[in-house]
Amino acid sequence: MAAPIEDFPSRPRLLLRGLTRRCAWCGDGRAYFLGWFKRQDHCQNCGHGYRRGDAAFELGATTANIILTFGTILVTILVLVVVTAPDVPVLTLTVVVAGLGLVGPALFYPVSFTLWQAIDLWMRRPTASELAGEGDATL
């Protein structure tokens, strides 16, 4: 059974917790990860599950990962083009963007899970039983 949540965080705080790889429920930094890639079903601190009864949770987390990776690529392209215009070094730009495309998904893996959980809590507010620590993470 998960710990009851007395003071549910505001929506901006939910997103901030998600972007900083913290549990959206309690704000604990360990959240659901035992390492960079190894995760567990429940927060190490509060015990709330990340899935909230949704078997397709990973699809949302994967989408968040793609958006974070593509967003980083887009910002990098814009910055490099603006800084180096009018003589844009295309080879350098290509190598940097390709590197981000390869490293980005691994870099954003844990953040995508905590961010998606925060977005899910934003869109589907928790029920009274979830806030009381009952009924989440069951499929």
Among residues of the chain, what percentage have pLDDT more than 90? 53
Q: How far apart are CA 132 and CA 26, in angstroms?
A: 13
Tell me, what's the pLDDT at 14? 93
67 is a domain residue: yes
95 is a domain residue: yes
Tell me, what's the pLDDT at 139? 40
108 is a domain residue: yes
Q: In the structure, what pLDDT confidence band is assigned to residue 80 with cuts at 50, 70 and 90?
A: very high
| Res. 77: pLDDT tops 50 | yes
Q: What average pLDDT does the segment 33-47 reach?
A: 87
24 is a domain residue: yes
Count of structural domains within the chain: 1
| Res. 47: pLDDT tops 60 | yes
39 is a domain residue: yes
Domain encompassing residue 125: 11-131
80 is a domain residue: yes
User: Using one digit for the tens of pLDDT, what is the confidence trace for 98-127?
Assistant: 999 999 999 999 999 999 999 998 998 888
48 is a domain residue: yes
Tell me if 76 sits within 8 A of 100, measured CB to CB. Answer: yes
